Structure formats: structure tokens, C-alpha cells
Amino acid sequence: MSSKILIIGACGQIGSELTYRLRRLFGDKNVVASDINANNLEISKSGIFEIVDAQDFTSVKNCIEKHQIDTVYLMAAMLSATGEKHPEKAWDLNTDSLFHVLNLAKDKIIKRIFWPSSIAVFGPTTPTKYTPQYTTMEPSTVYGITKQVGERWCEYYFNKYGVDVRSIRYPGIISWKTLPGGGTTDYAVEIYHEAIKTNQYQCFLKADTELPMMFMDDAIKATIDIMMAKPKDIKIRSSYNLAAISFTPQEVADSIKKHIPEFEISYAPDFRQEIANSWPKSINDSYARQDWKWKHSFLLEDITQEMLFQLGKKYKTIKKTSQ
Ligand code: NAD
């Protein structure tokens, strides 16, 4: 479907895995990875890589023209927990970057955009159980505000200018290749690292904090599925609710204990507890399942097995090479 792809924010948790998957699907020469820095050496050395500042229109446009890009995956953003520490920076990065790619599509320089939203668009007045697609949305974090406003602009650019922009509201994403970048659901990745390294973890959320979560493989599948869908099947042009499973820190700890009986969890909730309290516990994603046949595969036990297996291997290799 697409001929030349640019990923902006390719060194991050999701961008990195998306880059690998898109390269396997479309070929190395058709997928350009970019980021504001080359911190993730595996990505920056694994194929075509460019330094691009998503906030700088000229930097984005030059890269797109240089590589004759027609499809952009905009993954650069400041996430929820970091955004609360730097509200203005979060606003500037998250909104400027989206405007740049929307305007490039409006001017027909690119044809298609993927832009991720988040469950952070919901807020304390949203129904928390099985949160519907259309409901009260009063986000209380700057991150959530940027995602909500982004959704409105995506829909506006589709309706007014026919821009083919597609979006999903990711839940918390769990993965082992690249560390998460400052979100409220990061505990669900850190816990596996600490279980392998030290057999213990101090969680920054309370034991019974239930949040919607998804394994990276499912998140990447959803991202590619929505981008491969026929335009007529994409009926929502703001952003689709997307779900897999929901669980609490205690439930993850219990699933780890089945594999590492000596694992201990303790709790020291911090400012992220308030953010988590404002988010849904579970999500109704029936539109995504109906319109473009979304289906998840990984349940908590599958995630625990895969995380412990992959991180076990990773830390063994690190230990060996440092000896
Ligand atoms: P991340 O923080 O891991 O990665 C973001 C990447 O963007 C980093 O590599 C960073 O260097 C890069 N970046 C920052 N500023 C930039 C700039 N000015 N120009 C170019 N690159 C820049 O984030 P992620 O977890 O991979 O998230 C990707 C997208 O998915 C974001 O839009 C995020 O809001 C959304 N999302 C993520 C989650 C999750 O659990 N990870 C959940 C919901 C939504």
C-alpha cells in the first residue's frame, strides 16, 4: 500500500519496534527511521537513519523530500509523567509536531499519517469501566490535553482537507526491547526488569490500580492493521479506542511469582497515582474490532512468560559481555 515510510521518534519504546516491523514488511530501503538524537544505536545503525526535529517544520519537510516519503508515523511525543514536569514543553512538542505533518499532508507532500493518541484523553469524569468510544472526555494532564486536541485536529483535517490520518488510543504498552519514555504505565515494564535483576520491585502505583494494557506485538499489529485498512473502513478519524487486557500491579506481581517465587513487591505511590486514578480501568474497543477487524493475542500470562524469557536472555548476555 505505501511506498516510502518515515518514522519520527523511531528511537523510542514504540517507534523502535515499529521500525523493525515496517522494515521487515516493506524492505529496508523503503523505511527511514528518524529521531532528534541517535541515542538508540540499534535503530540508528540498523538502516537509513536521519536526525529530524519534529518541532522544526523545515527539518521534517527536508527529510520527507530527500527520501520521497509518502507515509509518516509520528511517534515523537512527551509522555504523561514527564509532561506533568514540563507542561509547556509537552504542549509545544506534542502539538507542533502534529501540525507539521498534518500541513504537509494538506499540501499533498505526503499522503498518509499515523498519529497515536492515548487513553490519557479520558479524565476523572469519564466512566472508568469499559469506557466507550464516545463519552465525557475531560483530561486532567497536559499530555491528555495534547492528545485530545490532536484528535480534534486530525478529524478536522480529514473533514476539511481530506487528509488520510489514522489514529488509535494506545493503552499502556509493555515491551522488552526499548525502555519506556516517562509514562504512568511504565511500572508494568520496570517490574519485569527488576524481577530479573534483583527479585524485588517498589511500585509507584498502589496495588489495586487497574489500568488498560497491551503487549508491544499487539500494539504494532494494531498500528499496521489500521494503516493497511481500506480508507472506507476507517470510519473514525479522531482516534479509535483500542484494548487488550486490564490488570493491577498486584496481579502482575502474582503472575511473576508463578515463575520467580522469591519475587517481592512493595508500594510507594507518587504523583503518578493521581494520573492513573484519572484514567479508565478498561476500554470498550468494539468500533476497532468491527471496522478494521482488530483482535489482540496476548493475555497477562503470555506477557509475563515472554518478558521474563526475553529479559532473562538480555541480562545474561550483558553479564557475560561485562565479565
Ligand atoms: P518514547 O518516549 O519512548 O519515544 C519518543 C521518541 O521521540 C524518543 O525516541 C525521543 O527521542 C523522540 N523525540 C522527542 N522529541 C523529539 C523531537 N522534537 N523530534 C524528533 N523526535 C523526538 O515514546 P513511546 O512510548 O514510543 O510513544 C510513542 C507514541 O505513542 C507517543 O505519541 C505516545 O504519546 C504514544 N503512546 C505511548 C504509550 C506507551 O505506553 N508507550 C501509550 C499511549 C500512547
In this prediction, residue 232 carries a pLDDT of 97
Kindly provide the residue ranges of all beta strands, DSSP E only, lying in 53-210, ordered along the sequence.
71-74, 112-114, 117-118, 164-166, 168-170, 172-174, 200-203
So which residues are the catalytic ones? 143
Mean pLDDT in residue range 243-259: 98
Note the pLDDT of residue 192.
98
Given pLDDT bands bounded at 50, 70 and 90, which one contains residue 44? confident
Mean pLDDT, the chain, rounded, equals 96
306 lines ligand 1 (CB under 6 A): no
pLDDT digits (tens, 9 = 90+) for 194-209: 999 999 999 999 999 9
Q: What is the pTM for the complete model shown?
A: 0.97
Whether ligand 1 lies within 6 angstroms of the CB of 11 is answered as yes
**Domains of the chain as residue ranges with CATH:** 5-171+215-241 (3.40.50.720), 173-213+244-317 (3.40.50.720)
On the question of pLDDT at 3 being above 90, the answer is no
| % of the chain surpassing 90 pLDDT | 94
> Which residue out of 7, 8, 17, 36 has the highest number of ligand 1 atoms within 8 Å of its CB and is therefore the one to mutate?
36
How far, in Å, is the centroid of ligand 1 from the Cα of 268?
26
Residue 280 in contact with ligand 1 by CB distance below 6 A: no
Tell me the helix, strand and coil percentages in the chain, rounded to 5: 45, 15, 35
- Per-residue confidence (pLDDT) for residue 39, from 0 to 100: 86
* Spatial separation of the C-alpha atoms in residues 79 and 76, rounded to whole Å: 9
Q: What would the DSSP string read from start to end of 19-34? A: HHHHHHHH-GGGEEEE
φ/ψ of residue 47, rounded to 5:
175, -160
Contact 242, 215 (CB under 8 A): no
Identify the pLDDT of residue 45: 86
